[in-house]
Amino acid sequence: MIDGALTALVTPFKNDVLDETAFGDFIEWQISSGIHGLVPCGTTGESATLSDSEHKRVIALCVEAAAGRVPVIAGAGSNETRISIRYAQHAKDLGADAALVVSPYYNKPNQEGIYQHFKAVADAVDIPIIVYNVPSRSVVDISNDTMGRLSKLPTIIGCKDATGDITRVTGIKDRCGEDFIQLSGDDPTSLGHRAHGGYGCISVGSNIAPSDYAAMHEAAAAKDFPAALAIHERLDRLHKDLFLCPSPAPTKYALAKLGRMGEEVRLPMTPCTPSTRAAVEAAMSRAGVSA
């Protein structure tokens, strides 16, 4: 079952090369900390700057390290439909449990173009698909009606909504049904998203504090919203301050402070500024996160 707190994994680099040892150790820490799922090669994983071979290797390493203990939802997004199909096939061949396919960016397709893009991927590769709607990055927004059409395709099982608009949960539920897996892609509003009927969150903050994010979503799933809210409030600055500079630079800085990996990012990302470093350290302290 895909639900709860799923980490949008960062990709560790060392001298501009994938740091496989750090990545494997990081995944083991995530799972031992109680995280509910792993998402390699998403936006937070700097997928846009991974080579084709690196993309495949990151997914393979994640599937191997997870060893079936938690679901692996592999990023398979591109604005080029044929490339997205290839990435989805990689995900299937490498043993991922599902593929995360982002709305086509840059091209600015209309709703019919968006539908046909996802349909082409779904028709070509027999793997469960999570549709990723992130208009702040892709420019285009997947409407609730288009999501309803997509939900009728047999392998499209859910969506990741990074709009932060929790009012969409009910509209999507009306069009897609109760079993359609709605995941938040926005940590600050993820608890509200869950209260409205969502299944959980593909989270950036859980890179830093996997046990806390898992506990928050477990409490919410048990309808213990006071307990979930208490955790949410403690994590609030972490939710937000990890985006004071372009992601994932602040997240990698925090992980470097924890000794989990280096803070190296690839251009056009740059290391976070001194003011962001100070804010992230303060957010970690408030959240009770330390090495």
Decide if 64 is inside a domain.
yes
* Token output for 16: 């501009």
Decide if 185 is inside a domain.
yes
pLDDT of residue 290: 82
pLDDT tens-digit readout, 136-164: 999 999 999 999 999 999 999 999 999 99
Decide if 52 is inside a domain.
yes
Q: What is the rounded distance in angstroms from the CA atom of residue 10 to the CA atom of residue 254?
A: 12
* Token output for 53: 């071979």
Decide if 59 is inside a domain.
yes
Cα angle 35-37-41, degrees, rounded to a multiple of 5: 120
So which residues are the catalytic ones? 132, 160
Decide if 267 is inside a domain.
no
How many domains is the chain partitioned into structurally? 1
Going 103 to 104 to 108 to 113, the CA torsion angle's sign is negative
Decide if 207 is inside a domain.
yes
User: Which CATH number belongs to the domain containing residue 41 in this structure?
Assistant: 3.20.20.70
Decide if 274 is inside a domain.
no
Average of per-residue pLDDT values in the chain: 97
- pLDDT, block means (10 residues), the chain with 291 residues: 96 98 98 98 96 97 98 96 97 98 95 98 98 95 98 98 97 98 98 98 98 98 97 97 97 98 97 97 95 67
Domain that holds residue 121: 4-231
Decide if 275 is inside a domain.
no
* Token output for 200: 């959980």
pLDDT of residue 89: 98
pLDDT of residue 254: 98
